[in-house]
Chains A and B, each alone.
Chain A
Amino acid sequence: MSFPWAKEYTPANGFTKWVDEKLPLPRFVYNAVGAGYPVPRNLNYMWNFGVLAGFCLVLQIVTGVVLAMHYAANAQVAFGTVEHIMRDVNWGWMLRYMHANGASFFFLVLYLHIFRGFFYSSYKAPREMIWLLGVVIFLLAMATAFMGYVLPWGQMSFWGAKVITGLFSAIPFVGEPIQIWLLGGFAPDNAALNRFFSLHFLLPFVIAGVVILHVWALHIPGSSNPTGVEVKSKSDTVPFHPYYTAKDGFGLGVFLIIYCVVVFFLPNMLGHPDNYIEANPLSTPAHIVPEWYFYPFYAILRAFTFDFILEAKLWGVLAMFSSILLWFLLPWLDRSPVRSGHYRPLFRTFFIILLVDMAVLFYCGGAPAEEPYVMISQIATAYYFLHFLVILPIVSSIEKPKPLPYSITEAVLGSDKKAVLGENTQPAT
């Protein structure tokens, strides 16, 4: 779909005309991320993160494929092959630091992209499918990142794998057999490492597939925008190229600068020293923690410390999975007809509380499982569930939103009456 005023692809010469007739791939790209895709003219920098997430995925696949040429998924030698990459492979150290920190930056970008969605209610009709596919991508990315962290076969790799697969043992009756089946043994070993590597190689391509669906679904209603008011006329939009390619280009530059500062000057800042110790099933690290991007969910997992009907561990596992799965329900929980948080004062207040709450969970997830961190994470966990499942639906039905602008054009220019439109109002074509 597209707006009626979307520019149409016209082949420039005989060759592109010939290609367009046989396989209209250039036309497809032109309509997807070229001048043929009209986009609201008022997108702010929070709308940069979709493109950045796509960039991160490509970066991870490219660096990952090359790393896989030098790595061996065998518990005897895996740790040594990583050191071989760091020491003997040309630019191996750079590839590995780019890949390891690339995962962190991928999640940073994904989180900003998701929080953008929360604040501007990007999940609302008609964009529910984009949101649902986005949550699927996030879940796949979590699985991929977790398995990737196991591959260097350091202490945190091993014990992280043990703790996370141990979660399945919380399932009543069949839990333990499931855990053994998943690991291919009683504890993580060669069988587990090998299948994790296989899946770690496969899943990014599955993600790429779902990303295509995500972008396809996006192109049906078109991009949302900070006012939450749908596009009404041509003056509300600009063509994706050159306007947003230029803006995304600048955003990509800023992203790469921050990323490269970490890769080249602080490459181990986001990692854990214990992962430079080779996996040892006989020695448990003092604090087993996942990578930073899992901290909030790890805090939720550990917040359940009391057996109430069900075992505490099972509550923790259920809560951890539910805390993400509930995002699938957001389009139906938040029924306010107004999308943008800018026009929803009460929603906005609770959104800020949610951000603080997530920050607290993040902090507690990385802290040792001691008081007072456990108590703090319990309060924060309670708020997390109440926010999405109780507060959000109530807010959306009682809140009185502020008046919305008539159109995107009015929001940008202060007026959308054709009579007062002077120069600078029609996008250049």
Chain B
Amino acid sequence: MIRILSALAGLVFAGVVLLAFVMGATTWLTEEPMHSADHEFHLDAHGPKGGYSFDGPVGKWDVAQLQRGLKVYSEVCAACHSLKFVAFRDLEEIGYSEAQVKAFAATKQVPGIDPNTGESTMRPGEPTDYFPSPFPNAVAAAAANNNAIPPDLSLMTKARHHGSNYVYSLLTGYTDPATFEKDGKRLMEEFPDFQTPPGLYFNPYFANLNLAMAPPLGVDGQVTYDDGTEATVSQMSADVAAFLTWTAEPKLVERKQTGFAVLVFLLFATVLAYFAKRQVWSSVKPKKA
């Protein structure tokens, strides 16, 4: 009885889903396949030439690069993007002394309360403060940016596929849609109606190709590096991408180093466990002829 009822249930489910298949297949065969510019002309993210110092299982931070990245963030990105999960004290992890962090924090104005009147005010930052947001709230951010809220950058490199490469590609990827081509096909020939709406900027690394952020790093030398590195657009993009990789995963290097110690121990323990197992079983295993 149970088997007859089950077989009926199985046939019903299979029948209904196959009916859905027939319907879906008919539509699929009769309708034009989906054809869209963002599907066909989107580019996959790539990193800077030579990759990042933190790539791979033994990669480490390039502290000088992180410091350059901080400078790019502070002078360019921070005008619109917050970094709310990073505190000034965290900067000691990228090679700054306590005094340097204190001095850096003091250059930033953070919201505070006037101790005499209790009113909201701005005060110089302390090492325990977090990077201040450029806008008091989301409404203000949207109002100042053509209705697009600039996302917080703390976790950006983990919040996108191929994050570090994505940030680099996006920053260096602005181009003119009129001449853009991919795999030998020109965007304007395949999609003559394609246009970037006013207030948006064409970037093939962005999901729908049109992005609200104006090219932030336009010219070489936009930021003056303290260590004398030449500030090309590519260099600045790689540096800020590296810095944002650190803000998203400050424990990345510590994690990999811990991992090696753990794996060495586990390999040793597992080899021991294997021989222990062989030893224990040797008395009952049939002898090989």
Contact = CB atoms under 8 A, between A and B. Distances in A.
A97 B274 CA distance: 28
B63 to A, nearest CB: 18
B263 A260 contact: yes
Contact of A371 (B28, B258, B285, B286): B28
B263 A250 contact: no
- The dominant DSSP class at the B interface is helix
Contacts of B274: 250, 253
A370 interface: yes
Interface in A384-429: 385-386, 388-390, 393, 412-414, 424-428
B284 A308 contact: no
B85 A265 contact: no
Given A243-B281, A256-B266, A273-B163, A378 B286 contact: no
- The dominant DSSP class at the A interface is helix
Interface stretch (B14-22, B111-119, B223-231): B14-22
Interface stretch (A11-19, A86-94, A139-147, A201-209): A86-94
Nearest to A312: B20
A268 interface: yes
A385 B286 contact: no
Given A375-B21, A428-B283, A274 B263 contact: no
A183 B157 CA distance: 32
Contacts of A427: 283-284
Interface string B6-30: 1101110110111111011100100
Given A93-B255, A390-B7, A319 B17 contact: yes
A267 interface: yes
A389 B23 contact: no
Nearest to B250: A87
Contact of B7 (A93, A250, A393, A428): A393
Contacts of A379: 18, 21
B23 A253 contact: no
B118 to A, nearest CB: 23
Give the interface size bracket for A toward B. 35 or more
Contacts of B248: 276
Nearest to A92: B251
A172 to B, nearest CB: 16
B284 A333 contact: no
Interface string B263-287: 1001101100110110111011111
A25 interface: no
A385 B256 contact: no
A263 B259 contact: yes
B237 interface: no
Nearest to A238: B284
Interface string B167-204: 00000000000000000000000000000000000000
Contacts of A77: none
A7 interface: no
A333 B3 contact: yes
A392 to B, nearest CB: 9
Contact of A382 (B6, B21, B155): B21
Contacts of B46: none
A357 to B, nearest CB: 12
Nearest to A414: B286
A315 B277 CA distance: 50
Contacts of B258: 94, 264
Interface residues of B, number: 60
B90 interface: yes
Given A246-B277, A393-B7, A427-B283, A381 B28 contact: no
A69 interface: no
B191 to A, nearest CB: 19
A254 B255 contact: no
Interface string B53-69: 00001000000000000
A385 B10 contact: yes
Interface stretch (A107-115, A162-170, A298-306): A298-306
A389 B259 contact: no
Interface string A218-251: 0000000000000000000010001100110110
Nearest to A93: B251
Contact of A265 (B21, B57, B251): B57
Contacts of B158: 268, 273, 276
A335 to B, nearest CB: 8
Nearest to B6: A389
A171 to B, nearest CB: 18
Interface in A348-372: 370-372
A304 B270 contact: no
Nearest to A412: B286
Given A263-B259, A265-B57, A393 B270 contact: no
Contacts of A374: 24
A300 B154 CA distance: 37
Contact of B281 (A246, A306, A371): A246
B283 A304 contact: no
B3 A264 contact: no
Given A41-B284, A393-B7, A273 B14 contact: no
A252 B190 CA distance: 55
A306 B24 CA distance: 8
Given A238-B284, A253-B273, A378-B18, A305 B259 contact: no
A273 B160 contact: yes
Given A256-B266, A322-B13, A286 B207 contact: yes
Contacts of B123: none
A210 to B, nearest CB: 24
Interface of B: 2-3, 6-7, 9-11, 13-14, 16-21, 23-25, 28, 34, 57, 85, 90, 151, 154-155, 158-161, 163, 207, 248-251, 254-256, 258-260, 262-263, 266-267, 269-270, 273-274, 276-277, 279-281, 283-287
The 4 A-B residue pairs with the shortest CB-CB distance in the complex, in nearest-first order: A264-B259, A389-B10, A253-B270, A306-B20
19 contacts: A41-B284, A86-B251, A242-B280, A247-B277, A257-B267, A276-B248, A303-B20, A305-B23, A312-B20, A375-B25, A378-B20, A378-B24, A379-B18, A382-B17, A385-B9, A389-B9, A389-B10, A390-B11, A427-B283
Interface of A: 41, 80, 83, 86-87, 93-94, 97, 238, 242-243, 246-247, 249-250, 252-254, 256-257, 260-261, 263-265, 267-268, 273-274, 276-277, 286, 303-306, 308, 312, 315, 318-319, 322, 326, 329, 332-333, 335, 370-372, 374-375, 378-379, 381-383, 385-386, 388-390, 393, 412-414, 424-428
